[in-house]
Amino acid sequence: MTDTTDRTALLATLVALAEAGGDVVWGHFVAGCAVMHKADESPVTIADREAEAVILAGLATLTPAIPVVAEEEAAAGRVPDVTGAFLLVDPLDGTKEFVGRGDDFTVNIALIEGGEPTMGVVYAPARDALYWGDVTRGAWMAARKPHEPRHDEQPIRVRACGGAPCAVASKSHAMPGLDDWLDAGGIATRVSVGSSLKFVLVASGEADVYPRTGPTMEWDTAAGDAVLRAAGGRTLDPDGLPFVYGKPGYRNTGFVATGGYEPAPLRPYLP
């Protein structure tokens, strides 16, 4: 996808569908909904499933040529064959925060090209915050309340790290080896936040680095990672190499997402 018009139109489509999915999620958050569990014991709600259905219906109409790997479809065993570019969808990242009435949950859509997340949208309806980006054009954020037009759009960029770095870490998961990695890097300031918001805090210059020693799935990380890369950041694998997508089972190992901070390899600190 090299044509500027095509990329602009696709990004606009992904933003609009993330907003639509977020509106569905918000409706269930306000009303409350029952929690079920998938085969791996992870929580799932009707909000996950209905938001994903809205997003997939839109993608099937507007981008039918691009395969889609979506979290709830994958849980049901429906995963398309992928040989080129594809989309990753997580309709509700941070289900634990959603169920616990927190505001750290997001809707995520990303485009993967050549193993790299090149375009992505992260919408946090409970925070009235929308982030999106394309590595060929840059990244932006805006205020966006559910069911209302977005406003106050502004470009975002990772910050230079000239002083004491600030790290963001998971709110819901203990990470073996993480404290040791942070201590070795002299990182004393840590902010705890859930979901893909960790990526966009680095992308918007509110933090410097997001290390993760535990496993995730690619749909958990791709959209935030795309926004970060569009904002001038990087995501590295445990050996300090570029973090790639389209791995077997769409499973991630540890990684370090960073802005201007130069991180040490994560490998020695993995469990």
User: Is 59 marked as a binding-site residue?
Assistant: no
User: Is 93 marked as a binding-site residue?
Assistant: yes
Tell whether the torsion through CA atoms of 26, 27, 33 and 37 is positive or negative. negative
Pairing of strands 251-252, 216-217: antiparallel
Element spanning 74, H or E: helix 71-75
* Helix, strand, coil percentages for the chain (3-state, nearest 5): 35, 30, 40
Report DSSP state, residue 196: T
Phi, psi of 79 (to 5 degrees): -125, 125
DSSP letters, 13-46, are HHHHHHHHHHHHHHHHHHH---EEE-TTS-EEEH
User: Is 61 marked as a binding-site residue?
Assistant: no
Q: Which of 104, 126, 107, 90 is nearest to 15 (CA)?
A: 107
Per-residue buried b or exposed e for 41-75, using 16+ beta carbons within 10 Å of the residue's own CB: eeebbebbbbbbbbbbebbeeebeebbbbbbbbbb
User: Is 90 marked as a binding-site residue?
Assistant: yes
DSSP letters, 88-142, are EEEEEE-HHHHHTT-S--EEEEEEEETTEEEEEEEEEGGGTEEEEEETTTEEEEE
User: Is 189 marked as a binding-site residue?
Assistant: no
Q: One-letter amino acid identity for 268? A: P
* Residue list for the binding site for substrate: 71, 92-95, 220
Residues in the annotated binding site: 71, 90, 92-95, 220
Q: Which residues are annotated as a binding site for Mg(2+)?
A: 71, 90, 92-93, 220
